Each structure stands twice: as C-alpha cells, then as structure tokens.
Amino acid sequence: MVNEGDYIAVFNSIHRVMKAEQLLKEKRVPILLIPAPRAVSSDCGLAIRYAEPERIVVEGVLAGADLTPEMVYLKRGEEFILCRGVEE
C-alpha cells in the first residue's frame, strides 16, 4: 500500500483529510487516500499518500488552502520517518 520513498500526510480530522483529497484531485495531483498505517498516529484513521515528485505540489496546494497536514512521514524501509509536524 505504501511504497519506499512515499510520503504520508496525516490530518487531525476526517473533514480535513476529505477536503484535502477533494482539492488535490480537482487539481489532478496524483495522490491516494489510504487507511493510516498503524505505525503512524492518526486521529481520523485516514491519510494521503503521494510520491516524491509530487511533494512540492501537494504540500504547496495544501498550504495555500490552509489545509496543512498535522504530520508528514516518509517511508524508509519498514519505518515511517517524521518529516514535519504541527510544531514546524
């Protein structure tokens, strides 16, 4: 489901993740709404997966719409490495 090098954007509510998915799909950005991996904390249980080439576009669109994810993780091997959290 999550490939090596993929990014996972985690949101703090189902409303925000669904709004983010709709916005990104309207802009034809290749993302996928997925169940949040167990290793990644998620209040709503869903996350948005995207690949490295789309990172700047995804995160820029979300920031521009005031839909910044609560956390962003990078898949490396069997681990999810925290790239950015709400404190940044």
Q: What is the mean pLDDT of each run of 10 residues along the chain (88 residues)?
A: 92 94 96 91 85 94 94 94 67
| pLDDT score for 42 | 64
Sequence-distant (6+) residues with CB within 8 A of 44 are 11, 12, 13, 14, 16, 17, 36
User: Right CATH number for 7-85 from 3.30.1330, 1.20.58, 3.30.70, 3.40.50?
Assistant: 3.30.70
Q: Which two tokens stand for residue 67?
A: 């839909």
Give the predicted TM-score (pTM) of the model.
0.89
Domain spans in the chain, listed from the N-terminal domain onward? 7-85
